[in-house]
Structure 1
Amino acid sequence: MRDYRDAKAMAQAVRGFLADHSVKITNSQSLELIAKAFGVSDWNTLAAAVRGEVTAPRTKIATSSATIDAGIRPRTPRFSTELELTLQRALGYADARKHQYTTLEHLLLALTHDANASKVMRACGVDLAALQKSLTDYIDNELRTLVVEAGASPGESRPTAAFQRVMQRAESHAEQMGQQEITGANMTVVIFTERLSPAVRRLYSQNMTAEDAANFVERGIIKRSGTAAP
């Protein structure tokens, strides 16, 4: 990517792809997701970084690229395509309910439909259908206070601080494992760091623990009562 417009084109492509699959998001949300995929906090930060790259001296850019290519500084893992869609799905759940914020409960519900994350949960003995029902009931009944007031602009749901912390920790986990991409499996391991959240409590209620998740993702150990899908 060498132009500010390239990032916008990527956002438009993601938004169009999701629309083709009946998942509607706003332009602002697609821009924010692309920013997260590049490992920055928000779209404005990414836009500024891209502008800086375009105007930087050519020798400086070449030196930076050579350093990375030489293996001196490892590349930061990027979100996999599937995980990007999962994050968009979580935002979509919040938008569909006109929620001002996208919480860990929206995220975990989206992860139950993510191939990598759901594989981890099944390996740890989680009943996905029961978990989905529990999360949906909680989101519909307990998060009514997040509904945007009349007259406000819907469709602009933003991730909570806990949601963003989990995203950052997933990146660190993938990097520690030497992965080039961050997947739903990484998210499932690190979501347990938010142990007081209703989302994590629902995993605990199904006897899934952080250790169970880490054992499967990091060591390939299936919990005795679990089943790992191919």
Structure 2
Amino acid sequence: MRDYRDAKTMAHTARVFLGDHGLKITNSQSLELIAKAFGAADWNTLAATIRDEVSTPRAEAATPSPATIDAGIRPRVPRFSSELERTLQRALAHGDARKHQYTTCEHLLLALTDDPNASKVMQACSVDLTALKKGLTDYIDNDLRPIVVKTGKSIGGSRPTAAFQRVMQRAEAHAEQMGQQEVTGNNVLVVIFAERLSPAVRMLYGQDMSAEDAANFIERGVAKRNGTAGP
């Protein structure tokens, strides 16, 4: 992903790419998606940040912060990997396909089962991905019927819930703490467990997977076998 000041261009590129692959989203949705990718609450927040950045005098912008001076390098905020961007697009597509008003943690976890990074972690933690997908799909199709948008009502596409947004913000912080240049599905999988009341998290616990299990594999390469951790 490029600098966030290219956000509108990236939003347009994402919308065209998805359209070419049979997933049509509105311009508003593409802008909101890019805003979430940069950790902003919504597009208006990101747009304000961009305006402030552009209006900042060059002399001020060129002045390094104390942290920059101490480290000797320019600090960089982790950016979303291309794989994670596609995962987020799938999560939103799961909501749009069902005309859901909101995209929940369950939509997100379902998308993560096809994420190359997150799915590898889940398999290392002895999660049955087929069973997990079925459980999530059944929940999304049946228990989330109350958030289906009524015919004729347009709200601009499925929108991430507050819980979804918290997970993505925590994922970015987790990647930064680990010194990563990019946020991946691994980071999302570790921090999603903080949403303890989420059915998605309960399904992971139901397969005897915990945040500690995920962290053990991601940080130490220790896989969980038959209910116990092992190399």
Per the normalisation by structure 1, the TM-score is: 0.90
What letter corresponds to residue 129 of structure 1 in structure 2? T
Please state if 1:38 is matched with 2:34: no
SS in 2 for 1:93: helix
In structure 2, the partner of 1:62 is 62
Tell me if structure 2 keeps the 8 A contact 1:2–1:50. no
Tell me if structure 2 keeps the 8 A contact 1:2–1:54. no
Equivalent positions of 1:38-187 (< 5 A) are 38-64=38-64, 68=68, 71=72, 74-153=75-154, 155-187=156-188
Deviation at 1:12, TM superposition (A): 0.6
Q: How many residues get paired?
A: 225
SS in 2 for 1:175: helix
Deviation at 1:200, TM superposition (A): 0.8
In structure 1, the partner of 2:209 is 208
Deviation at 1:173, TM superposition (A): 0.9
What letter corresponds to residue 108 of structure 1 in structure 2? L
CA distance in 1, matches of 2:176, 2:222: 21
Q: Which runs of 5+ in 2 are unaligned?
A: none
Tell me if structure 1 keeps the 8 A contact 2:100–2:158. yes
Deviation at 1:167, TM superposition (A): 0.6
Deviation at 1:162, TM superposition (A): 0.9
Deviation at 1:19, TM superposition (A): 2.2
Deviation at 1:40, TM superposition (A): 1.9
SS in 2 for 1:208: coil
Between stretches 103-112 and 43-52, larger displacement belongs to 43-52
CA distance in 2, matches of 1:2, 1:154: 29
Deviation at 1:49, TM superposition (A): 1.5
In structure 2, the partner of 1:198 is 199
What letter corresponds to residue 117 of structure 2 in structure 1? N
Deviation at 1:73, TM superposition (A): 5.9
CA distance in 2, matches of 1:26, 1:193: 31
1:158-199 deviation line (CA, Å, top 9, x unaligned)? 111111111111111111111011000001111111122111
What letter corresponds to residue 19 of structure 2 in structure 1? A
SS in 2 for 1:223: strand
Deviation at 1:201, TM superposition (A): 1.0
Decide whether aligned partners of structure 1 residues 68 and 13 sit closer, same or farther in structure 2, where only a CA change above 3 A counts.
farther
CA distance in 1, matches of 2:126, 2:199: 19
SS in 1 for 2:63: helix
What letter corresponds to residue 152 of structure 1 in structure 2? K
Please state if 1:13 is matched with 2:13: yes
1:40-65 deviation line (CA, Å, top 9, x unaligned)? 22111111111222222111122259
CA distance in 1, matches of 2:193, 2:147: 23
Tell me if structure 2 keeps the 8 A contact 1:68–1:75. no
CA distance in 1, matches of 2:80, 2:200: 22
SS in 2 for 1:106: helix
1:113-158 deviation line (CA, Å, top 9, x unaligned)? 1000100100000111111111111100110000012331055211
In structure 2, the partner of 1:188 is 189
SS in 1 for 2:95: helix
Tell me if structure 2 keeps the 8 A contact 1:89–1:110. yes
